[in-house]
A = this chain, B = another copy of it.
């Protein structure tokens, strides 16, 4: 499969790179599944399994994003032998997070695809939480979304 279209049109700096992720249709912007610091871990694990998502934004009472709980964090729980305590809260689970965590990575729906790429690579994360200017959850943009977009622009 030779992608003539892309080869011919997008060699150096394709125009979509400057467009916003929202305009490009990259990401999920409704029915975002969130948890609160008080949510029991067992509920979060159920959400991972049933809703097939890999991370859950942690929000405060106003819907403002304060953290993120990912599938991977459950492994740390198990490592600490806390697997006997799945009714522990997300907040308690995240206290012990390894050093080096620099806070939840967020972006805005108006950010360009270029900016999102740079941020994901720099922060070595698998998704960004999209927030509105007040910090409330607006959406999620994950690796899956970016791959779907790449598929969409690649003529068969």
Residues of A within 8 A of B (CB): 1-3, 6-7, 10-14, 40, 42, 45-46, 48-49, 52, 71-72, 74-76, 78-79, 81, 83-87, 117-118, 120-121, 126, 143-144, 146-148, 150-151, 154
A118 pairs with B79, CB closer than 8 A: yes
B1 pairs with A87, CB closer than 8 A: yes
B147 pairs with A83, CB closer than 8 A: no
A147 pairs with B74, CB closer than 8 A: yes
CB of A20, distance to nearest CB on chain B (Å):
17
A120 pairs with B14, CB closer than 8 A: no
A144 CA / B85 CA spacing, docked (Å): 19
B83 pairs with A10, CB closer than 8 A: yes
B84 pairs with A1, CB closer than 8 A: no
Give the residues in chain B near A13, CB-CB below 8 Å: 81
A75 CA / B2 CA spacing, docked (Å): 20
Name the residue on B nearest A43 (C-beta).
Answer: B1
A85 pairs with B147, CB closer than 8 A: no
CB of A115, distance to nearest CB on chain B (Å):
12
CB of A96, distance to nearest CB on chain B (Å):
12
Known: A117-B75, A150-B74, A150-B78. A85 touches B143 (CB 8 A): no
